[in-house]
Structure 1
Amino acid sequence: MSARTSLIVDVDTGIDDSLALLYLLARDDAEIVAVLSTAGNVPTSQVAQNNLAWLELCGRTDIEVAVGAAGPLSTPLRTTEDTHGPQGIGYAILPAPTHRPSDRTATQAWIDLTRERPGELVGLVTGPLTNLALAVRADPALPARLRRLVIMGGAFHHPGNTTPVAEWNISVDPEAAAEVFAAFSEVPADRTPIVCGLDVTERIVLRPEHLRRIAELSGSTPVETIRTEDAPSTRSATSNPVVRHLSDAVRFYFEFHRDHGQGFIAHMHDPFVAAVALDPDVAQYRSATVDVETEGRITRGQTVADWFGLWGRPPNARVALDTDPDAFLDDLVDRVATFARTVDRAVKGSGPEA
């Protein structure tokens, strides 16, 4: 087994955040130190409940879940239940968690954990950057203590998915994103943040066939079939609880993309960025100086990259621009299926796999 990567995971769970958590739990080379909850797809309290519920379903109540800020730094919170469902996890109804969030806030967790393990932890943010921005405000030395920061956010040579130029995570709290990019401009060049925007994440296209393969490989029966002609909100009847709840969540995402003219698919931004956090070599990058527009009447939330040093400022990001989507999706399917089978056997009392 390769060396483990220790992660602080800051999420706004979220359908694709949910699959990102499952993917990380499925990887032996990942140690999730804490899951921090931020407002974005749904309010913070619901995000925390989703995180607790997924972890408990998977038998990982040992992982800390912390509650973050209730909203952006300086503007009202916008959520996106139309995209992710009323609870943020599509049609899935997870068992209510029996454990509770940590006593410390997400902001304090960022500070404490990086002080306890300087130079060891990789930060993975798949939601708005509010919690991290607040942590950096309170402790400006924090960026120097992270081993690496990986962000799902932004759009560079790609249209936005919230406005014509802005990606969702950045657009929710542009001020937080701008502060984070500025703060991380001081880290050594080999530790500049990795930014995975829509240029690469919208190439990670999950289809019903992928869920069928996960069900097959996990031994779940009947094998999952999700069809565009199914009645809205059709629920999965497959036997494996992880596969069943994942299917119910992703079905909503398929329907959202179809209803917005993108086909019966789901862009899985966050699982891919989780893979990058563990192995940056799965993508190709270009260095740039990245800043965020916070004032523009029609460009607020736009991530702007200076590729040629026109601002006279050193690069502060490595922007992901290419990857092999099929290779990643094959890896995702295999790992999540194996993990789902392991969880199911543990629940049934047959112990770990041989």
Structure 2
Amino acid sequence: MTHRVVLDTDIGSDVDDALALAVLLGSPEVDLVGVTTVYGDTALRARLAARLARLAGREVVAVAGQREPLSGRDVWWAGHEGGSFDDLGDEPISAGDGVDFLVDTVRSAPGEIDLVAIGPLTNVAAAVRADPRFAGALRHLYVMGGRFGHAPDGGPGPRTAEHNFRSDATAAHLVHAAGIRSTTTGLDVTTTVRLGRAAVDRIGAAGALGAALRAEIQRWWRFTGEQGNVPHDPVTVLTMLVPGLFEFARGTVSVDADDGSSTFTAGAGRARVATAVDAGTAATTMIDRIVTAGR
């Protein structure tokens, strides 16, 4: 099954965004239509996405999107974004606005575009606001966000805020209230998967892209003080590419517009959430696809 994909990302802080891009680049069933960036210095983020794709021998449309959250909350900026490349300012990116790109791309191919949103949902919310036909024209929206703490019966869990939803709670609320056919993967699932030194060694041996990703991973490890990381965003990509690795529950997702806390309620609805993952196979699958991208 071919997926025509737009990736919406805050690439450049936590390395998992870069790993998610590499999984998409290493997946033959993916037609990566474009990358839009969100949150903070979105031009720098777009240049980083374009550079990593070029290291994989690919050219991607990379478009800078919204810099400021709709909520008005201050942007969290780690300070190391783009630091692995001293010439990133020379990397060409596409002209235009990321929100316009989202609207135009989805509207020109109704029912064909899968949107993978792995950062704050500001661009997606702005697209919903900009064109009332946008939400219905998406094929599917895959979101990394939230923490649901599912009850054994798949019902509501505790309400706690996760970074992407907290960073723009207004946007996360608007998107999940828009009736979009969606799959949301929260921290309660993504944190069951971890990548350690052996995984990094495999990735680092995969050509120029692998070497760049290893440098980004090691930079993130220095920042966090840990020798390992949770691949939140690649796990989310796998819900689209290899859904058989997951268990899902269908119902509705709601997000508090003030604090970004999230709730899942099982039952009728156009949303589903991931409730479990085969962690070992998921890790192996994402590493295999990243290595394929780097060859």
1:208 aligned partner = 197
How far off is 1:316 after superposition? 4.0
In angstroms, what is the RMSD of aligned CA positions? 2.1
Native 8 Å contact 2:204 2:214 kept in 1: no
Give yes or no for the alignment of 1:287 onto 2:250: yes
Q: Within 5 Å, which residues of 2 pair with 1:124-139?
A: 124-139=116-131
Give yes or no for the alignment of 1:86 onto 2:80: yes
Identity percentage over the alignment? Answer: 30
Provide the C-alpha distance between the structure 1 equivalents of 2:50 and 2:9, rounded to a whole number of angstroms: 12
Q: What is the identity, as a one-letter code, of the residue corresponding to 1:282?
A: L
Give secondary structure in 1 for the equivalent of 2:177. Answer: helix
Native 8 Å contact 1:149 1:194 kept in 2: yes
Provide the C-alpha distance between the structure 1 equivalents of 2:244 and 2:121, rounded to a whole number of angstroms: 24
2:65 aligned partner = 68
Q: What is the identity, as a one-letter code, of the residue corresponding to 2:168?
A: D
1:277-312 CA distance string (max 9 Å, x none): 2233331111232111123xxxx110122236xxxx
2:139 equivalent among 147, 150, 164: 147
Runs of 4+ in 1 over 6 A off after TM superposition: none
Provide the C-alpha distance between the structure 1 equivalents of 2:270 and 2:86, rounded to a whole number of angstroms: 40
Provide the C-alpha distance between the structure 2 equivalents of 1:168 and 1:292, rounded to a whole number of angstroms: 13
How far off is 1:152 after superposition? 0.3
1:161 aligned partner = none
Q: Within 5 Å, which residues of 2 pair with 1:173-322?
A: 173-183=168-178, 185=179, 187=180, 192-215=181-204, 218=206, 240-257=207-224, 259=225, 264-295=227-258, 300-307=259-266, 314-322=268-276
Native 8 Å contact 2:107 2:133 kept in 1: no
Q: Which runs of 5+ in 1 are unaligned?
A: 159-163, 219-239, 309-313, 342-354
Provide the C-alpha distance between the structure 1 equivalents of 2:33 and 2:54, rounded to a whole number of angstroms: 15
Provide the C-alpha distance between the structure 2 equivalents of 1:255 and 1:21, rounded to a whole number of angstroms: 22
2:24 aligned partner = 24
1:44-87 CA distance string (max 9 Å, x none): 222122112212222222x2111111111131332240xxx521
Give secondary structure in 1 for the equivalent of 2:269. Answer: coil
1:336 aligned partner = 290
Provide the C-alpha distance between the structure 1 equivalents of 2:38 and 2:144, rounded to a whole number of angstroms: 14
Q: What is the identity, as a one-letter code, of the residue corresponding to 1:268?
A: P
2:154 aligned partner = none
Q: Which runs of 5+ in 2 are unaligned?
A: 151-158
Higher relative contact order (CA 8 A, sep 6+): 2
Using the size of structure 2 for normalisation, the TM-score is 0.89
Native 8 Å contact 1:52 1:97 kept in 2: no
Q: What is the identity, as a one-letter code, of the residue corresponding to 2:227?
A: F
Native 8 Å contact 2:112 2:138 kept in 1: yes
How far off is 1:99 after superposition? 4.9
Q: Which has the larger radius of gyration?
A: 1
1:51 aligned partner = 49
